[in-house]
A and B are shown apart, each in its own frame.
Chain A
Amino acid sequence: MRTVQGENVAIARPAALASFFANGFLAQIAQILLLRELLVVLDGDELAVGIMLAAWLCFAALGALLARQKRNGHPPLAGFAIMIAITALSLPGALIVVRLARPFFDAPLGTPLGLVDSLLLAAAAAAVPCICIGMLFPLMVRVANSRPALVYGGEAAGALAAGLLFVFVFVAHLSPIAIASIAGGLAAAAALVLIVTARPSHRVTAGAMTVLLLLAVFGAIFGGRFDNALEQHRWRRQLPDHDLLSVTESPYGRYTLLRSASQFSLFLDGHLQCDIPDPYGTGWIVHTVLLQHPNPRSVLIIGNALGGNVAQALLHRPQRIDCVELDPAPLRTLKQHAPGSALSAFDDPSVKVHYVDPIALLGETARNYDAILLDLPDPTTLGISRLYSREFLEICFDHLSDGGVLSIGISSQANYLGPYVRQRNALVYHTIRAILTDAVATPGDHCLIIARSGQARETADAGSQSSLTLAEDELAHRLTQRGIDWPAYLSFLYSDPFPIDRQITVNGSLAAWPAAAPESSIDDLMFAMDEAPTLPQLNNTATINTDLHPRAYWLTRVLNTVKFDRPAVAVVIEGSPIVVSRALGVVVAGIAVASIILRAFARATQRLPATGAGLTLASAAFAFAIMTMHLAVLLWYQSRVGQMYIGLALLTAAFMAGMAVGAMWGEMLLRARRSLIAFQVLLVLAALLSPLLWEPASPAAVKLISPLCAALLGALLGGHFACCCAIWKHDRSEPVGAARWLYGADLLGGALAALVVAAVVVPGFGLVAAVRWAGIFALAALIATVLLTRSRCDSHAPS
């Protein structure tokens, strides 16, 4: 057996590698589980993801930096075992804390937590497991007396396996507590093997690991029941009169189905998706849109198909209805628990359900539609924002028949259009009108923007009459003519939903944005009500929502902050893009200036350059750059291809695989410093050139290129880390320092990027700007490396 000498113990290399792998597996599972739980509680958009990742990486970095202080307190094997035990036990604890947090923050059901509360909760949940995971890294290096890059590679491989297993196996069959138990058990088993093979006399530690393993088995078997009981408790507290029928885990999130009397309510990650049946609420969108077309034969419904849109569209007797659902799980669950008329529409032979991303469906089909209805949630996430983008709406337009109607809805307010609602809705309105000029927006709590393709598109100038009508009597007449007996819609029409004064005000206000809304006098409001509205003049300075600059997502974030948080927080969020860009500039300049000054200081004092500081700075800056590029690739894929969750999992897997390979490969490089510089130059070039690809790439090309990009980025990071460790070890002859400082810097850089890029830079400035920042940070890493490492490091050869 090939062994390496540790501290008084002989560690078998396979056992050590298995332990690295198991710990990477545990860490990745912990990250995914906590992220999912927090998404449910934090009204999860990318800000929640950013907050969680940042908390995660910061605590892990802290743990890595704290490891030295623990060194003298515990022998490495015992310390190693303790850390694994705490991590494995604290993970289910953290899940329970997150799930029961809402009453603690006194946040009623349906209201998201504020920014400060979100930060507190993420910190509370992540603190213990993450610090332990961070501490495990240098401990593993010491226990196995191994090179950090080998540990890094082993961890990355474990993380890769965890990500793939979670998405394709675990999530569909196991509860979160059971998954956490399995991951903990795996880590305990690996540690047990390591301890037994290295030091059989270490009975207490081995015994503790055995107990942990048994506990994990218990958790894996009974975790599901406990999880259900926890969910029952949580929902009963919030909706005492509702029965929890089922909790379904899917790669797209956690679906919860509740029933009160004969009404079923479906939630996805805590967000209400639909109430079924809802004959009084649904239908007005479908009928208002379909009545704009003389004979809608083919209809495409994207969103809220389960909520009744399909059933309502069937009343118009089209030949074909295609509806898009990302996930088969909700319909399957509903059919199981809510059989009957509410879902019978899906059994109609003219209805075809496609379980794909809308972009993928429209990319594959050549079919044209008379009506395309987009009934989507507000763009609270980047994933949804892309369905409000010019690119997606253009794809929809390409699939409209001549005279076909396209509609998109967004939340609004019936009686008054405040500035934050106005700017978000105006952005969507302008995005639609950039493609289809004949468009009207409805007043009301839900702003439905309806547009028509075909001849009207060319003739619909400002001031002319739209070919679309919101006249209530006319819509009622068309409904009757079509032979549809649906009193709920008539009742809606008789509730004054589209008063002409509001039509004029709302359309005028949206079209004028970003300029002030047109002034109206009391006479305009009260006496111009009999005149049919005309298409208002568009403000040409208005911006629109695009894939590469998801402004709709950003403006929704600002709006929701105003809605849900303190005014001061709203001011901070609104101003954050500028603040963040300046702060990033200061950080980059700081790294460059610090490198120059340290170099000058070394010369002035005739000392050696501060290699440790240089490598730490370079690691942090490079990790920031890589994480930024990685996020940009993820969002690029998401915006062009869709298939969010599985796509993201695959890209993350490609990144982790690249990282494992890169770390191993970096171990073998002879000229560490030159390789390091080469990696950094490569990243600068990638950042400069990649935007050239982004605009023209087709979805098929994106599918092919983006996993390669992710793998390359992972390999660069892994290789960079390995080279940094090699130089550090060569310069200082101790691997644990490298593990602590470089790993910590790596995590901190990644954490900063995860937080600011996903939450602020991309929505505030767009993907291209984010990539530029990646290039700038890679350049900073290059400066630090060139100035603060010595060329003789290249004489290093791996041991």
Chain B
Amino acid sequence: MPSPMDLPQIDRRSFLAALGHCAGGACFACALSRFDYSAAATGDDDIAIATGLDAKRQIDFYTQLPDNHIQCFVCPLDCNLADGETCFCRTRTNVGGKLYTRGYNNPCIIRVDPIEKLPLTHFRPGSETLTLSVGGCNVRCLYCQNWQQSQSKPDELKYFPLTPKQAVAAAKKKNIRTIAFTYTETVAWLEWAHDVAVEAKKAGISVVVATSAYIKTEPLLDFAQYVDGFVVGLKGFTEDFYKRILGIQLAPVLEAIKTVRYKTDSWLELVNLVVPGYNDSSVEVQSMVQWVHEELGDGVPLHFSRFVPMYRLANVPRTPAQTLEKARSGALRAGLKHVYIGNLAPHDGNNTYCPKCGCPVIERLGFKILKDTLRRGMCPQCKTKLPGVWT
């Protein structure tokens, strides 16, 4: 047995350094042991659609590329996906060179809502909608009210198995005449929305959609033939705002709005959420109003909606009432006939007025219709016909 003096002479500094390395290694190993490798390994690159989904449906709008790659062309993002990858919207996955939706038959929200909530003011006012929503979104709004659903994959959420036929049957059973797709972006789960809309059409039920309209023309036209009304969020009017706050581009949205207006029979309303410091400048609002007037006509209702602190913009002030009133009066001066103030009630801007005689034809308090004097869409005083879907 060697005596202590026979032991190799170790320099104290290197000895301490070795000890330090050991401790560091142990800490690192300890930290790694906590990670959920399955979660880390999947993320947006998971290999297959999670098991437990009720159905999976192929996407209609994509092209196959070499090496099992895929180019999705539902929306202008044009996601190019390797095998196993998922689109930016978190809802479409390339499985073996074919693109599948993860959100088919898996709505996370099933509600009965007043139609004014969308907001739609010229589409069967005072009626109820069966509201459906699936997780995922191809937009990244920093003020999203529904961020928990929109910023998740559909199968990560608590969902209800519901086929298109079941959805329509439920609406009929409850005597609801309209199905609404809202809360998250319908473009992200277009396939299921499309199939529900087809079934609804067969059953004589109307379909309305709230959307950011970040979609390409072909899938939009394919879907819109089954849709009776669109509420498009025209969220700002500069590319900078769209890029910084929404993470997308403005130009395709404007193109999609024009497509809905002129190439479909669907009813169209526009909503602009006015966010202080971001899209509330007079110049921007006036440019938007000008564009709406020139490109869409004066009959398209425009809603200026009040911002309240939400999601990542929790420290931005609420929109002052005067800002909304100024925007509304500017839009009316520019020639738009139906301009509303939303998310701020009670307010005169919540009501529908006859564009000719100025008489209030529908008075609202919240989502409640206090007075509706329209007769088959006509003003009771001057008999002017107001645009919209009234029956």
Q: Which residue of B lies closest to A414 (CB)?
A: B145
Q: Which residue of B lies closest to A582 (CB)?
A: B30
Give CA–CA (A502, B111) in the complex, Å: 9
Whether B382 sits at the interface, judged by CB under 8 Å, is no
Give CA–CA (A110, B313) in the complex, Å: 5
Q: How many residues of A contact B (CB 8 A)?
A: 77
Whether B317 sits at the interface, judged by CB under 8 Å, is yes
Closest 3 CB pairs of A and B: A494-B366, A418-B148, A261-B322
Give CA–CA (A517, B108) in the complex, Å: 14
Q: 1/0 contact trace for B180-199 toward A, CB 8 Å?
A: 00010000000000000000
Whether A229 sits at the interface, judged by CB under 8 Å, is no
Whether B277 pairs with A563 at a CB distance below 8 angstroms is: no
Whether A571 pairs with B111 at a CB distance below 8 angstroms is: no
Q: Which residues of A contact B108 (CB under 8 A)?
A: 416
Whether B68 sits at the interface, judged by CB under 8 Å, is no
Distance between B14 CB and nearest chain A CB, rounded to angstroms: 12
Give CA–CA (A582, B33) in the complex, Å: 10
With A280-B344, A525-B110 already in contact, the answer to whether A272 and B316 are too (CB < 8 A) is yes
Whether A238 pairs with B277 at a CB distance below 8 angstroms is: yes
Whether A579 sits at the interface, judged by CB under 8 Å, is yes
Q: Which residues of B contact A416 (CB under 8 A)?
A: 108-109, 146, 148-149, 157, 183
Whether A587 pairs with B27 at a CB distance below 8 angstroms is: yes
Q: Which residues of A contact B36 (CB under 8 A)?
A: 571, 575
Binds B, one of A56-64, A596-604, A677-685, A736-744: A596-604
Q: Which residue of B lies closest to A278 (CB)?
A: B318
Distance between B150 CB and nearest chain A CB, rounded to angstroms: 10
With A109-B277, A111-B312, A260-B276 already in contact, the answer to whether A281 and B318 are too (CB < 8 A) is yes
Among A280, A571, A586, A610, point to the contact of B30 (Cβ < 8 A). A586
Q: Which of B166, B173, B368 has the most CB of A within 10 A?
A: B368
Whether A491 pairs with B346 at a CB distance below 8 angstroms is: yes
Whether A491 pairs with B345 at a CB distance below 8 angstroms is: yes
Q: Which residues of B contact A571 (CB under 8 A)?
A: 35-36, 39-40
Among A109, A111, A240, A579, point to the contact of B34 (Cβ < 8 A). A579
Whether B254 sits at the interface, judged by CB under 8 Å, is no
Distance between A507 CB and nearest chain B CB, rounded to angstroms: 16
Give CA–CA (A281, B314) in the complex, Å: 15
Whether B111 pairs with A260 at a CB distance below 8 angstroms is: no
Extra 6 A-B pairs, beta carbons < 8 Å, given A267-B315, A597-B19, A613-B12? A108-B278, A263-B320, A263-B322, A281-B318, A416-B157, A499-B111
Q: Which B1-51 residues have a C-beta within 8 angstroms of A?
A: 4-5, 7, 9-10, 12, 15-16, 19, 22-23, 26-27, 30-31, 33-36, 39-40, 43
Binds A, one of B219-227, B288-296, B303-311: B303-311
Give CA–CA (A263, B148) in the complex, Å: 31
Whether A604 pairs with B4 at a CB distance below 8 angstroms is: yes
Give CA–CA (A525, B113) in the complex, Å: 12
Q: Which residues of B contact A134 (CB under 8 A)?
A: none
Distance between B135 CB and nearest chain A CB, rounded to angstroms: 9
With A272-B314, A280-B344, A601-B15 already in contact, the answer to whether A241 and B281 are too (CB < 8 A) is yes
Whether B366 pairs with A492 at a CB distance below 8 angstroms is: yes
Whether B317 pairs with A239 at a CB distance below 8 angstroms is: yes
Whether B152 sits at the interface, judged by CB under 8 Å, is yes
Distance between B148 CB and nearest chain A CB, rounded to angstroms: 3
Q: 1/0 contact trace for A103-114 toward B, CB 8 Å?
A: 000101111000
Q: 1/0 contact trace for B94-114 toward A, CB 8 Å?
A: 000000000000001111111
Whether A594 pairs with B4 at a CB distance below 8 angstroms is: no
Whether B55 sits at the interface, judged by CB under 8 Å, is no
Distance between A480 CB and nearest chain B CB, rounded to angstroms: 14
Whether A280 pairs with B345 at a CB distance below 8 angstroms is: yes
Give CA–CA (A579, B28) in the complex, Å: 9
Q: Which residues of A contact B19 (CB under 8 A)?
A: 590, 593-594, 597
Q: Which residue of A lies closest to B183 (CB)?
A: A415
Whether B317 pairs with A242 at a CB distance below 8 angstroms is: yes
Give CA–CA (A564, B151) in the complex, Å: 11
Q: Which B232-250 residues have a C-beta within 8 angstroms of A?
A: 244-245
Whether A260 pairs with B320 at a CB distance below 8 angstroms is: yes
Q: Which residue of B lies closest to A527 (CB)?
A: B174
Q: 1/0 contact trace for B243-272 toward A, CB 8 Å?
A: 011000000000000000000000000000
Give CA–CA (A281, B367) in the complex, Å: 16
Whether A14 sits at the interface, judged by CB under 8 Å, is no
Q: Which residue of A lies closest to B22 (CB)?
A: A590
Whether A563 pairs with B30 at a CB distance below 8 angstroms is: no
Whether B12 pairs with A275 at a CB distance below 8 angstroms is: no
Give CA–CA (A211, B231) in the complex, Å: 66
Q: Which of A110, A261, A526 has the most CB of B within 10 A?
A: A110
Q: 1/0 contact trace for A87-117 toward B, CB 8 Å?
A: 0000000000000000000101111000000
Whether B323 sits at the interface, judged by CB under 8 Å, is yes
Give CA–CA (A542, B111) in the complex, Å: 29
Whether A242 pairs with B147 at a CB distance below 8 angstroms is: no
Q: Which residue of A lies closest to B343 (CB)?
A: A280
Give CA–CA (A571, B35) in the complex, Å: 8
Whether A567 sits at the interface, judged by CB under 8 Å, is yes
B→A interface (CB under 8 Å): 4-5, 7, 9-10, 12, 15-16, 19, 22-23, 26-27, 30-31, 33-36, 39-40, 43, 108-114, 117, 130, 133, 142, 145-149, 152, 157-158, 160, 162, 166, 170, 173-174, 183, 244-245, 276-278, 280-281, 306, 308-318, 320-323, 344-346, 365-368
Among A413, A493, A527, A564, point to the contact of B366 (Cβ < 8 A). A493
Q: Which A541-560 residues have a C-beta within 8 angstroms of B?
A: none
Q: Which residues of A contact B312 (CB under 8 A)?
A: 108, 110-111, 563-564
Whether B317 pairs with A263 at a CB distance below 8 angstroms is: yes
Distance between B85 CB and nearest chain A CB, rounded to angstroms: 16
Q: Which residues of A contact B183 (CB under 8 A)?
A: 415-416
Whether A606 sits at the interface, judged by CB under 8 Å, is yes
Whether A270 sits at the interface, judged by CB under 8 Å, is yes
Distance between A293 CB and nearest chain B CB, rounded to angstroms: 24
Q: Which residues of A contact B320 (CB under 8 A)?
A: 260-263, 275
Can you list 18 A-B pairs, Cβ within 8 angstroms, ordered by A?
A: A111-B142, A241-B280, A242-B277, A260-B320, A261-B320, A265-B317, A413-B146, A414-B145, A418-B152, A494-B366, A567-B43, A568-B40, A571-B36, A579-B31, A582-B33, A583-B31, A594-B16, A598-B15
Q: Which residues of A contact B322 (CB under 8 A)?
A: 260-263
Q: Which residues of A contact B146 (CB under 8 A)?
A: 413-416
Give CA–CA (A593, B323) in the complex, Å: 68
Q: Which residues of B contact A260 (CB under 8 A)?
A: 276, 317, 320, 322-323
Whether A445 sits at the interface, judged by CB under 8 Å, is yes
Distance between A521 CB and nearest chain B CB, rounded to angstroms: 7
Whether A455 sits at the interface, judged by CB under 8 Å, is no
Whether A322 sits at the interface, judged by CB under 8 Å, is no
Q: Which A137-193 residues have a C-beta within 8 angstroms of B?
A: none
Q: Which residue of B lies closest to A239 (CB)?
A: B277
Give CA–CA (A586, B10) in the complex, Å: 24
Give CA–CA (A421, B311) in the complex, Å: 12
With A586-B27, A604-B4 already in contact, the answer to whether A415 and B316 are too (CB < 8 A) is no
Whether A271 sits at the interface, judged by CB under 8 Å, is yes
Give CA–CA (A529, B128) in the complex, Å: 14
With A501-B111, A590-B23 already in contact, the answer to whether A110 and B365 are too (CB < 8 A) is no
Whether A72 sits at the interface, judged by CB under 8 Å, is no
With A241-B281, A265-B317, A492-B366 already in contact, the answer to whether A522 and B110 are too (CB < 8 A) is yes
Give CA–CA (A531, B158) in the complex, Å: 24
Q: Which residues of B contact A108 (CB under 8 A)?
A: 142, 244-245, 278, 312-313
Whether A532 sits at the interface, judged by CB under 8 Å, is no
Q: Which residues of A contact B109 (CB under 8 A)?
A: 415-416
Q: Which residues of B contact A563 (CB under 8 A)?
A: 147, 311-312
Whether B9 pairs with A575 at a CB distance below 8 angstroms is: no
Q: 1/0 contact trace for A374-418 toward B, CB 8 Å?
A: 000000000000000000000000000000000000000111111
With A491-B365, A522-B160 already in contact, the answer to whether A421 and B148 are too (CB < 8 A) is yes
Give CA–CA (A241, B314) in the complex, Å: 18
